Amino acid sequence: MHTLLQHLAKSQTYFIHLIRISIFIVMAWIGGLKAFQYEADGIVPFVANSPFMSFFYTHPSPEYQDYKNPEGKTVAKNISWHESNGTYVFSYGLGTVIVIIGILTLAGIWSAKLGLIGGLLTFGMSLVTLSFLITTPEVYVPNLGGDFPSPQYGFPYLSGAGRLVLKDIIMLTAGLLVASDAAQRLLTTSKHS
């Protein structure tokens, strides 16, 4: 057991690099998906209801509810609405920003300065994403009725979208951890200069 503890203690730097790699994989994958119509359509409820991002769209919330494209289904009138809304242009831009944050975070393996920026941006992006738990109605299970009344709707009952958003609390903490490691490396370097 003692040997395992020693090995884990000595490996902390490698594990922090693994966190950087993990952040990069998530950011590159999710950011890259923003170039596809289904993903762009899927983020509309989050963006449209966000006080930080809704101004990027032409049409006000909750108008989007009439133009939802379920994943895997294409409806021409909905695509036209999303084009006029700016859905796709915004998604391409957001995807690019997310991929850049991932690259900056990954670069922290070699450059503490870039890693610090990437870690802080990961933290900031996660804060915005977590704000969707307050601003987006779709993150909670709706009351759809049924054969008998169900008490499992609204807060705290997270929908699939809500469960996805809540996971960003891990990204938030990971961003702070890699930023802290980069800051430590920068301070150590400046002491020796």
Split into its structural domains, the chain has a count of 1
- Cα–Cα distance between 56 and 48 in angstroms, integer? 8
Asked whether the whole model's pTM tops 0.95, one would answer no
134-154 pLDDT tens trace? 999 999 999 888 888 778 899
Residue 4: inside a domain: no
Taking CA atoms, 32 is separated from 13, 24, 95, 156, in Å, by 28, 11, 6, 31
54-70 pLDDT tens trace? 999 999 899 999 998 88
| Structural domain of 112 | 12-191
Residue 1: inside a domain: no
- Cα–Cα distance between 51 and 156 in angstroms, integer? 22
Residue 186: inside a domain: yes
